[in-house]
Structure 1
Amino acid sequence: MLVTCRFSSKPAVAPSSSSSKQSRHAPSEGAQMAGAAALARIEQKQRPKVHTSQDAIRNQGEKRTVLNPDSPEPMKDAACLSVSGVYFTCPLTGATLTKSQREVHIKEAILMRFEEDDIEASVMMVHTFNKDREKVKAAVDIISKYVDNICKNPSEEKYRKIKVSNKVFQEKVSPVEGSREFLQAVGFISVMLPVEAQEEEEEFLVLPEQSDDALELMKERRDRLQRGEPVRAQLDRQPQAFRPSPNAQRFELPPEFYNLSAEELKKEQQQRTELVEKNAMLRTKAMREREEQRERRKYNYTLLRVRLPDGNLLQATFYAWDRLPALFEFVRESLMDGWQPFELIAPGGQKLQESEEVTLVECNLVPAALLTFAWDAAVQADIAAAGGKSSAALLKPELLERIQTLS
Structure 2
Amino acid sequence: DETFPEDEGAAAPSVSGVYFICPLTGAVVRKDKKEKHLREAVQAYFSVDPVAASIMEIHTFNKDREKVRAGVETMAKYLDNIYLHPEEEKYRKIKLQNKVFQERINCLEGIHRFFQAIGFETQTLPVPGQGKKIQTGSTEEYYVLREDMLTRLEDLKGYKEQLLNSEPLRAQLDRQLCVFKPSPEAARFELPNDFYNLTAEEIKREQRLRTEAVEKASMLRTKAMREKEEQREMRKYNYTLLRVRFPDGYILQGTFYARESLSALYSFVREALRDDWLPFELLGPGGLKLTDENLAFNECGLVPSALLTLAWDTAVMADIQASREEQPASALKPELLSRAQTLS
Which residue does the alignment assign to 2:131?
A: none
What one-letter code is carried by the residue in structure 2 that aligns with 1:313? I
Query: What is the match of residue 205 of structure 1?
Result: 143
**Higher alpha-carbon deviation: 102-111 or 197-206:** 197-206
CA distance in 1, matches of 2:179, 2:123: 61
Equivalent-residue separation in structure 2 for 1:211 and 1:277 (angstroms): 73
Give, in whole Å, the separation in 2 of the partners of 1:173 and 1:98. 33
Q: Which amino acid aligns with 1:370?
A: L
Aligned residue runs from structure 1 range 328-407, under 5 A: 328-353=266-291, 356-388=293-325, 390-407=327-344
| Counterpart in the other structure of 2:127 | 195
Could you tell me which residue of structure 2 aligns to residue 111 of structure 1? 43
Give 1:395 shift: 1.7
Distance 2:326 2:55 in 1: 52
Q: 1:250 to 1:268 in 2, by over 3 A?
A: closer
Give the direction of change, closer, same or farther, for the CA distance of 1:380–1:276 in structure 2 (3 Å limit): closer
The whole-number CA distance in structure 2 between the counterparts of 1:385 and 1:397 is: 24
Counterpart AA for 2:294: E
Change beyond 3 A, Cα 1:266–1:241: closer
The 5-angstrom pairing of residues 280-359 of structure 1 reads 281-353=219-291, 356-359=293-296
What amino acid is aligned across from residue 134 of structure 1 in structure 2? E
**Which position in structure 2 is the counterpart of 1:252?**
190
CA contact (8 A) 2:193 2:200 kept: no
Distance change in 2, residues 1:287/1:383 (3 Å): same
**Partners of 1:264 and 1:129 in 2: CA distance:** 28
- Following superposition, the deviation at residue 398 of structure 1 comes to 2.8
Counterpart mapping for 1:47-66 below 5 A? none
- Counterpart mapping for 1:196-235 below 5 A: 196=128, 197-198=134-135, 199-209=137-147, 214-235=152-173
- The question of 1:98 aligning with 2:59 is answered no
Report the count of equivalent residues.
332
- What displacement does 1:278 show? 7.6
Ranges in structure 1 where 5+ consecutive residues have no aligned partner: 1-66
Aligned residues with identical type, % of pairs: 59
1:381 shift after superposition: 2.6
- The 3 A distance-change label for structure 1 pair 314 and 280 is closer
CA contact (8 A) 2:59 2:68 kept: yes
- The equivalent residue for 1:134 is 66
Question: Hey, what does 2:83 align to over in structure 1?
Answer: 151
TM superposition shift of 1:386: 4.3
- Contact 1:126–1:178 (CA<8 Å) still a contact in 2? yes
Q: Deviations over 1:48-103 (max 9, x none)?
A: xxxxxxxxxxxxxxxxxxx95xx7xxx6xxx8221111111111111121111100
Letter in 2 for 1:264: E
TM-score, normalised on structure 1?
0.76
In structure 2, what is the Cα distance between the partners aligned to 1:274 and 1:255?
21
Structure 2 portions without partners, runs of 5+: 1-6, 129-133
Amino acid at match of 1:180: H
Does the 8 Å CA contact 2:179/2:251 hold for their aligned counterparts? yes
What SS class does the counterpart of residue 241 from structure 1 fall into?
A: strand
Query: 97, 101, 108: which is aligned to 1:165?
Result: 97
2-structure distance, mates of 1:214, 1:131: 32
Give per-residue Cα distances to partners, 1:198-224, cap 9 Å, x unaligned: 434221111134677611221111111
Corresponding position of 2:3: none
Change (3 A) 1:95 1:212: same
Whether the 8 Å CA contact 1:320–1:361 is kept in 2: the answer is yes
Of the structure 1 ranges 288-297 and 380-389, higher mean CA displacement relative to structure 2 is found in: 380-389
Report which stretch shifted further, 366-375 or 206-215. Answer: 206-215
1:238-249 counterparts in 2 under 5 A? 238-249=176-187
Give the 3-state SS of the residue equivalent to 1:184 in structure 2: helix
Residue identity opposite 1:144 in structure 2: A
Aligned-residue offset at 1:262? 4.4
- Deviation, 1:330, is 0.6
CA change 1:296–1:340 in 2 (3 A) is same
Residues in 2 aligned to 1:278 and 1:392: alpha-carbon distance in whole angstroms: 48
TM-score, L = length of structure 2: 0.89
Amino acid at match of 2:143: L
CA contact (8 A) 1:154 1:210 kept: no
Q: Secondary structure at the match of 1:326?
A: helix
The CA distance in 2 between the partners of 1:213 and 1:375, in whole Å, is: 64
Residues 334, 396 of structure 1: 8 Å contact kept: yes
2: CA distance, partners of 1:209 / 1:389 = 74
CA apart distance, 1:267 = 4.5
**Deviations for 1:145-189, whole angstroms, at most 9, x for unmatched residues?**
001111111100000100111111111101111112112211111
Q: Structure 2 counterpart of 1:395, which letter?
A: L
Q: Which shows bigger deviation, 337-346 or 373-382?
A: 373-382
The 8 Å contact of residues 81 and 252 in structure 1, kept in 2 or not, is answered as: yes
The verdict on how the C-alpha distance between 1:275 and 1:375 changes in structure 2, with shifts beyond 3 A counting, is: closer
